[in-house]
């Protein structure tokens, strides 16, 4: 808390705006967009790797949140203030930091996998600045962000050699995807069958609801990965290369389709299935299959436009 008070003394409107912008690089939407762009346009195995680091990191993060149940800094110390614009995205338990987990996992993985110097420098800078932004805004302590950084780094370096090997070994890829799916299912069972203290289940406590939503979301995503990988390996076999403007069409068109499926499927599924459980699993499974298999079925046409150029 003493370090947070030090940062609190440095606050001013300019820095508030700067760090409020920087913290957006730890949002789930940006993580998904970057992962899909890499999968579509750079290297599909790099895409699998980045998305998997994020998914596993989220499970570990949510598991620790629901187990330790540590309140936010301003709850622990009522005299401490936060940057108010950050409050809405800082609901739930404090430890560990989800934004830090997502940003360091994503941009750390990018820095490890990509040779371009500018990309690496930018990615490493974001790995430092996003965790700092969470503390500057007052929504996390050094312990919150520190543990998330360590977890993200472990996942980055542990999963990278496995996915490199998987590029030439379908058996390895299936082993990875099945193992990650088992982790998601184990987390799903834990959330449903573990007996938490009574206050965890209170209606005003959004942490348990968030944990359930994430459990079903990530399970749906990993089941989708298994289907996508099988379809691409046996039938689609899409190429990521295309002329730059064709790549742009792939990205914009793909993101629009993904957002459309995400929103349009929500209404009918929520009408017939429990909203935060099976409806969510099916919706995210569908999103992954559409983004990972159905949309890439069109890529052979994009590759022919203007010659094969990245």
What's the pTM value of the predicted model, to 2 decimals?
A: 0.93
**Residue 41: inside a domain:** yes
C-beta contacts of 244-248 below 8 A and 24+ residues apart: 244/309, 244/310, 245/305, 245/306, 246/302, 246/303, 246/305, 246/306, 247/41, 247/302, 247/310
Q: Identify the pLDDT of residue 257.
A: 97
| Dist CA 238 CA 254 (whole Å) | 14
| Dist CA 58 CA 49 (whole Å) | 14
| Dist CA 261 CA 256 (whole Å) | 9
Q: Identify the pLDDT of residue 278.
A: 94
Q: Identify the pLDDT of residue 201.
A: 86
Q: Inter-axis angle of helices 142-166 and 44-68, to 10 degrees?
A: 150
Yes or no: say if 277 and 212 are a contact pair by the CB < 8 Å rule.
yes
For residue 79, how many C-alpha atoms fall within 13 Å in the half-sphere facing its CB? 4
**Residue 185: inside a domain:** no
Q: Identify the pLDDT of residue 89.
A: 80
**Residue 230: inside a domain:** no
**Residue 252: inside a domain:** no
Q: Identify the pLDDT of residue 97.
A: 95
DSSP secondary-structure letter at 200?
G
C-beta contacts of 227-232 below 8 A and 24+ residues apart: 227/285, 227/288, 227/289, 227/293, 228/288, 228/289, 228/292, 228/293, 229/48, 229/173, 229/174, 229/177, 231/293, 232/44, 232/292, 232/293, 232/296
The string of pLDDT tens digits covering residues 106-121 is 999 999 999 899 999 9
**Residue 146: inside a domain:** yes
Exposed / middle / buried, residue 286 (Cβ in 10 Å: 0-12, 13-18, 19+): middle
Residue-range definition of the domain harbouring residue 131 = 2-168
Residues of the chain with pLDDT under 50: 308-310
| Number of domains observed in the structure of the chain | 1
**Residue 58: inside a domain:** yes
**Residue 307: inside a domain:** no
DSSP secondary-structure letter at 77?
-
Yes or no: say if 59 and 177 are a contact pair by the CB < 8 Å rule.
no
**Residue 34: inside a domain:** yes
Q: Identify the pLDDT of residue 307.
A: 55
């Amino acid at each position: 808390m003493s370090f947070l008070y030090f940062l609190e003394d440095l606050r001013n409107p300019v820095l508030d705006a700067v760090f409020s912008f920087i913290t957006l690089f730890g949002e789930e939407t940006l993580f998904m967009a970057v992962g899909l762009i890499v999968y579509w346009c750079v290297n599909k195995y790099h895409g699998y790797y980045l998305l998997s680091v994020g998914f596993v990191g989220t499970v570990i993060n949510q598991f620790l949140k629901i187990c330790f149940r540590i309140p936010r800094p301003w709850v622990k110390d009522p005299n401490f203030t936060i940057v108010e614009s950050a409050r809405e995205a800082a609901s739930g338990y404090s430890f560990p930091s989800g934004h830090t987990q997502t940003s360091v996992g994503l941009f750390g993985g990018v820095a490890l996998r990509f040779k371009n110097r500018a990309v690496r420098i930018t990615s490493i800078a974001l790995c430092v600045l996003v965790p700092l932004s969470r503390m500057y805004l007052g929504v996390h302590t050094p312990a919150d962000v520190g543990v998330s950084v360590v977890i993200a780094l472990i996942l980055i370096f542990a999963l990278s050699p496995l996915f490199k090997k998987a590029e030439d070994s379908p058996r390895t890829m299936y082993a990875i995807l099945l193992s990650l799916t088992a982790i998601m299912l184990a987390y799903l069972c834990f959330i449903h069958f573990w007996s938490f203290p009574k206050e965890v289940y209170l209606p005003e406590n959004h942490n348990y609801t968030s944990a359930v939503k994430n459990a079903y979301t990530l399970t749906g995503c990993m089941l989708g990965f298994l289907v996508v990988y099988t379809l691409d390996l046996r039938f689609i076999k899409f190429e990521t290369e295309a002329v730059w403007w064709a790549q742009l069409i792939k990205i914009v068109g793909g993101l629009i389709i993904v957002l459309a499926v995400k929103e349009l499927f929500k209404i009918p599924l929520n009408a017939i299935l429990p909203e935060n459980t099976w409806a969510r699993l099916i919706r995210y499974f569908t999103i992954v299959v559409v983004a990972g298999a159905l949309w890439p079925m069109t890529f052979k046409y994009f590759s022919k436009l203007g010659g094969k150029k990245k």
